[in-house]
Structure formats: structure tokens, C-alpha cells
Amino acid sequence: MAIANTNTEMTRINPLAALTWHRLKVNNAPVRLEDPASVNRAECRIEGNTGADHQTREVSDNLSGALSADLPGSQNEIQDKSLSEIRTGAGEAFADWVRNTEIEAVRISAEENSEPVRMHIGPAETAHTAILPVEITVEDNKELTVIMDLTDASKPCRGALAVQTRIKAGAGARVKLVQLQLTQNTVQVYTDIGVEAGENAHVQIVQLFAGGADVYAGSEITLRGDGSSSQVFIGYQGAGKGKLDFNYNSVHIGKNTDSSMTVNGVLRDSAEKTFRGTIDFKTGSSGAVGAETEDVLLLGETVVNKTVPLILCAEEDVKGSHGASIGQLDEEMLFYLGSRGISEQKAVDLMAGARISRIVREIGDETAEKMTREFLGIDDE
């Protein structure tokens, strides 16, 4: 679905780390982005809980862009330039567009014994395109979980919703980011992530793309510190004529770093999907290990699936692997389920749900998991 606003400019985002043949049409994703001057801040309600004190804050255009200092799990301070310079997966063109909107970032940091920070993000009522930049800082040896749900249930609209998240994880820090894209099929969604991980830091990202007209998602995790590690879990469901375009990079700089990407998805009807997954071993990253796997179920005769795994290697003592399982329904399984009184449509839904449930289980939060299962119509397991 294309944005209807005529005040747009063609931009190429989600660039492949190393270009391939142009005729394959996977080097980047051409999109039309609205004039930055016309973009508004997305609506955001934030809940933070440190145990004794529970606070909820609305973030809107009349705020400075930083959260109130009394919100647990947040800080109000001058922007950390090193954080703003962290590379993200959607690429420089998208980062420039976000910067040119001049919308200040919401900033979050870890507090002692803090429980998950929950961010409820939706399109702005008066904006055709709405964006929310987020900056997360987790200092040495601290832990933080941030759960974002992108939804438009309270005010369905036609337009675009974008969230750009930058994370700086200090030495020994543990960070988990959960993003649940639960918008209706009239909203075009952009999510862009950039991570810088220090020595022995661990970063986990769980993303579920369950709706939206077209979805463009990028992530770049830089494992700069020795012994740093990352896990990325992605679940997606494409239907109708929707497009899903992904660009995920794991960049190994430090020694003995470890990264993994696990991607499970379902494509129905005439949906299209492109997934670029890059493991990049830089010079000096000896002892590094990187792995990427994707499991895709195709449920339509006219679906389009493109998977582009890429390993770049400038260091000898490393281990990189990638694999993809792309298939259709097992006729024997359908026959077996039919013999047990399960209709073909129910059987299809069960097998599709099983692909997504694998990622839903990684959310690790009962409230968020329940909301996701209800949106998808997946039974509890």
C-alpha cells in the first residue's frame, strides 16, 4: 500500500550490506517518505514500575521530548551524541529523514531493580505520518526490559507509523527489547533499531509483525565489546497484498562475540516478503560466532518470498552459518488432521499459528503474550 499524501519523496532504505545483482531487486527498498516538516510525533503512553511506585506518562508534542525525571526507568538529560550516532538497520537515508523531522527522542535508562518499561505507541490523531524516536541507555552491569506495542485500535487511520530505537548497552549490561506490531491493515509501519554493545553485554530483541499494510523493519547490532552477544527473534505474518521488507545486520567487532537470528514467518494470499540477514565479521573479531535461520510457511499460490542470507568475513578465526527452510503445507499432515475431524482451514491456521507461537513464547511477559495471541487468534499453549 502506498502512502496517499502527495508531499512525499522517493527514498531507498534497508540497504543490503554488500550489493548484489540489481535485477534481483533486493539491494534496498524504495519507499515514499513524507516531507519531514509535515511529520508529527506519534502518541505514546509509558508505564514504568520499580515495585513501590507505579507511574504512567503521556508523551506528546508539548513535551521537550525527554521523559519526566520522576518516571521510573527514565532520565531527563542532554542528548548523548554517541547514542545518536549509532548505526541502524534501515540505513543512513532513513536516519537522515528521522533527524530532519526534528522530533526529539524519548530517553529511557535502567534503574535499580526496575521492572519492564511498557510503551504503548500509536499514530497521532492529526498526522498522516507519525514517528517516535527512542533512545535507551543501560549502564554497566544493569538490566532493562522495554516492551513496545504499536497499535491503532483506538483510532484506526490510513497513514504511516515509524519507531526508531537506539540502544547503548554498557559492559555486562543485559537488555531486552520487545516490539509488537499490532496495527490494522491500513497503516504502513517502519521500525528501525541500532544497538551498540559493550564488553560482555547481552542484547535480546523480540519482534512480532502481525498486521499493517506494508512493513519495513531494519536492525543493526554492533557487538563492539569482547564477549558481547545478541539474540534476535522475528516472527511475521503477511497477508493480502501486503509487503514485508527486512534488513538485519549483526556486526562483530570484539573478540569472542556471539550472535544469532531466528526468523519464523507465514505468507498468505499474495503477500510479498524480502529478508536480508547479514553476519559481518570485522578484522579483529577472532573467536566470533554468528548464526542465522529462517523458517517460512507459504500459504498462497501467488506469494513472493525472497531470502538473502549474507556472511561477510574479514577475520579467519570465526564461525558463521545460515540456513532457510521454505515450504508449503504437508499434505499428509492435512490428511491426518482431517481424519481427526479437523477442517482444512482449521488445520492451516493451526500450522501457521505454530510458526508464530515459537516467537511469541520468547516475549517472556504474560500480559504482552496474551495481547499478541488475542490479536492473532492463536490459542494458549
Give the domain ranges of the chain.
10-327
Question: Grid coordinates in use for 108?
Answer: 529511557
The grid cell for 158 is 490510513
Residue with cell 496474551: 370
Q: For the segment 211-251, what is each residue's pLDDT rounded down to a tens digit? A: 768 999 999 999 999 999 999 999 999 999 999 999 999 99
On the question of pLDDT at 380 being above 80, the answer is no
pLDDT tens by residue, 145-176: 999 999 875 565 678 999 999 999 999 999 99
Give the torsion sign (CA, 228, 259, 114, 107).
Answer: positive
What is d(CA 82, CA 74) in angstroms, rounded to the nearest whole number?
18
Other beta carbons within 10 angstroms of residue 103's beta carbon come to: 21
276-320 per-position pLDDT tens digit: 999 999 999 999 999 999 999 999 889 999 999 999 999 999 999
> What's the pTM value of the predicted model, to 2 decimals?
0.90
Instruction: Give the per-residue pLDDT at 248.
Output: 98
Mean pLDDT within 121-129: 79
Q: Could you tell me which residues come within 8 angstroms of residue 212 by beta carbon, excluding any fewer than 6 positions away? A: 181, 183, 184, 185, 187, 188, 189, 242
Lowest mean pLDDT among 114-118, 192-196, 208-212, 330-334: 330-334
Average pLDDT of the segment spanning 324-343: 80
In this predicted structure, what is the pLDDT of residue 165?
Answer: 98
